[in-house]
């Protein structure tokens, strides 16, 4: 039986820069996806415990060479949490299918609904594991579209996702090593709220019993990652965080234990091969291109296309590690994690 943990990353006053493929350094994402988190975590794990330890860990994961293995460790992407007095609001990605009872005629509030890319846990659970969409939800979304509602959805923080952080740009100077010429550029940073109603990022971990024995080592690697920083611009002090490694709260336990689902929605990125037409039957999904550079020598890793968070499938996706080692790189293999973490949901069929 697997063991679940919830990890909170508190960045305090430290700004963060999370780059995404296709956007310049002037822009930044507000969170880190599962593959990037996995890579950073494993890299620090290797430095702490050595090459043999990390190779032994990676050999437990399914890959193109070991396709029949069951993943011993699954992690979600990071998502935002926001403290509201004594209550913590956890935001989850909205599944790419409508909740049950969602009305066929929704033109009055469809734009407002589509802008809800992330839902508070209580709303997510009611819409996708509980009674579903209600007439009161319709009325409140119409009110929000026309102005501003002050009812249940708003009280739960449904429309307050962007209150958790601010995005800004910091000017920087680059100096040419040869000519000493200077060049002005700007870097985008996210600053999570750290005073009143502090916020940060969280992610879920699903551990097999055998890998749970490595929990102390995995936790130690995360602590070191927090000291060094997550994301880009770490030399400027960005991305440093304090770690909270928590037992799964009761509200979350009921979500992961839900047995009445007819679909599965991704909380992480997902890659697998082969993907059959049968697997994609009645699925709703988006594709995310993932690339990047190897930090030690600035070679570009192979590009890979993955299913993104919120994608919905009829059967639980499993996923594999994908080898993205660039041609000519011989030091060691480079993997990107397409191992998925998903949650069971109910959803409208059409």
pLDDT tens per residue, range 6-31: 999 999 999 998 876 555 555 678 99
Helix (H) or strand (E) holding 200: strand 199-207
Q: Of 199-208, 253-262, 324-333, 339-348, where does mean pLDDT reach its minimum? A: 324-333
CB-based contacts of 180, cutoff 8 Å, min separation 6: none
In a domain, residue 268? The reply is no
Q: What is the pLDDT of residues 72-106, one digit of tens each?
A: 999 999 999 999 888 999 999 999 999 999 998 87
Q: Please tell me the distance from the alpha carbon of residue 244 to that of residue 81, in angstroms, as a whole number.
A: 13
Helix (H) or strand (E) holding 135: helix 135-146
Q: Please tell me the distance from the alpha carbon of residue 114 to that of residue 121, in angstroms, as a whole number.
A: 17
Q: Please tell me the distance from the alpha carbon of residue 238 to that of residue 226, in angstroms, as a whole number.
A: 10
Tokens 């090593």 appear where? 177
Higher pLDDT, 278 or 68: 278
Q: Compute how many other C-beta atoms are within 10 angstroms of the C-beta atom of residue 74.
A: 25
pLDDT for 295 equals 62
In angstroms, how far is CA 274 from the centroid of its own chain?
24
In angstroms, how far is CA 296 from the centroid of its own chain?
25
Per-residue pLDDT for 310 more than 90?
Answer: yes
**DSSP secondary-structure letter at 234?**
G
In a domain, residue 276? The reply is no
> Stretch 57-68: mean pLDDT, rounded?
82
Classify each residue of 274-291 as buried b or exposed e, where b means 16 or more C-beta atoms within 10 Å of its C-beta: eeeeeeeeebbbeebebe
CB-based contacts of 340, cutoff 8 Å, min separation 6: 74, 266, 268, 269, 270, 307, 317, 318, 319
Band (pLDDT 50/70/90 cuts) for residue 186 is low
Band (pLDDT 50/70/90 cuts) for residue 297 is low
In a domain, residue 137? The reply is yes
In a domain, residue 260? The reply is no
Token pair for residue 67? 């396709």
Tokens 């209550």 appear where? 87
Q: Of 104-108, 195-199, 291-295, where does mean pLDDT reach its minimum? A: 291-295
Tokens 């975590």 appear where? 41
Per-residue pLDDT for 312 more than 70?
Answer: yes
Domain count, the chain: 1
Q: Compute how many other C-beta atoms are within 10 angstroms of the C-beta atom of residue 170.
A: 14
Determine if residue 157 is left, alpha or beta; phi over 0 gives left, psi from -120 to 50 gives alpha, anything else beta.
Answer: left
Band (pLDDT 50/70/90 cuts) for residue 334 is confident
Residue-averaged pLDDT of the chain: 89
In a domain, residue 283? The reply is no
In a domain, residue 316? The reply is no
In a domain, residue 315? The reply is no
**DSSP secondary-structure letter at 308?**
P
Q: What is the pLDDT of residues 92-142, one digit of tens each?
A: 999 999 999 999 887 789 999 999 999 999 999 999 999 999 999 999 999
Q: Please tell me the distance from the alpha carbon of residue 101 to that of residue 95, in angstroms, as a whole number.
A: 15
Q: Please tell me the distance from the alpha carbon of residue 193 to that of residue 244, in angstroms, as a whole number.
A: 17
pLDDT for 27 equals 65
In a domain, residue 289? The reply is no
In percent, how much of the chain has pLDDT > 70? 93
Band (pLDDT 50/70/90 cuts) for residue 191 is very high
Per-residue pLDDT for 335 more than 90?
Answer: no
Q: Compute how many other C-beta atoms are within 10 angstroms of the C-beta atom of residue 101.
A: 14
The range of the structural domain enclosing residue 189 comes to 3-255
> Stretch 185-196: mean pLDDT, rounded?
84
Query: In residues, how long is the chain?
Result: 350
Tokens 């943990």 appear where? 5
> Stretch 199-209: mean pLDDT, rounded?
96
Nearest to 93 by CA among 310, 287, 305: 310
């Amino acid at each position: 039986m697997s063991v679940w943990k919830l990890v909170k990353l508190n960045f305090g006053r430290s700004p963060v820069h999370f780059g995404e493929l296709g956007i310049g350094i002037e822009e930044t994402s507000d969170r880190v996806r599962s593959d990037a988190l996995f890579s950073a975590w494993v890299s620090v794990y290797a430095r702490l415990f050595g090459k043999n330890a990390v190779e032994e860990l990676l050999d437990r994961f399914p890959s193109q060479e070991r396709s029949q293995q069951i993943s011993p460790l699954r992690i979600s992407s990071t998502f935002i949490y926001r403290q509201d007095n004594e209550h913590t609001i956890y935001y989850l990605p909205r599944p790419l299918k409508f909740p049950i009872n969602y009305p066929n005629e929704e033109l009055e509030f469809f734009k407002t609904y589509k802008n809800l890319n992330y839902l508070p846990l209580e709303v997510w659970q009611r819409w996708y594991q509980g009674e579903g969409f209600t007439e009161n939800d319709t009325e409140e979304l119409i009110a929000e579209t026309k102005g501003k509602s002050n009812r249940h959805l708003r009280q739960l923080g449904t429309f307050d996702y962007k209150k958790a952080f601010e995005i800004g740009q910091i000017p920087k100077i680059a100096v040419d090593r040869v000519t000493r010429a200077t060049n002005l550029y700007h870097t985008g940073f996210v600053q999570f709220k750290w005073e009143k109603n502090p916020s940060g990022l969280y992610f879920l971990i699903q551990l097999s019993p055998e890998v749970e024995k490595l929990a102390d080592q995995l936790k130690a690697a995360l602590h070191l990652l927090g000291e060094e920083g997550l994301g880009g611009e770490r030399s400027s002090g960005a991305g440093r965080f304090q770690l909270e490694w928590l037992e799964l709260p009761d509200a979350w336990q009921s979500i992961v234990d839900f047995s009445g689902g007819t679909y599965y929605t991704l909380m992480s990125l997902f890659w697998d091969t082969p993907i059959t037409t049968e697997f994609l039957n009645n699925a709703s999904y988006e594709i995310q291109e993932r690339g990047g550079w190897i930090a030690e020598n600035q070679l570009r890793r192979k590009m890979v296309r993955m299913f993104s968070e919120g994608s919905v499938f009829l059967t639980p996706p499993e996923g594999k590690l994908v080898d993205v080692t660039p041609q000519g790189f011989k030091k060691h293999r480079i993997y990107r994690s397409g191992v998925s973490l998903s949650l069971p949901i109910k959803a409208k069929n059409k």
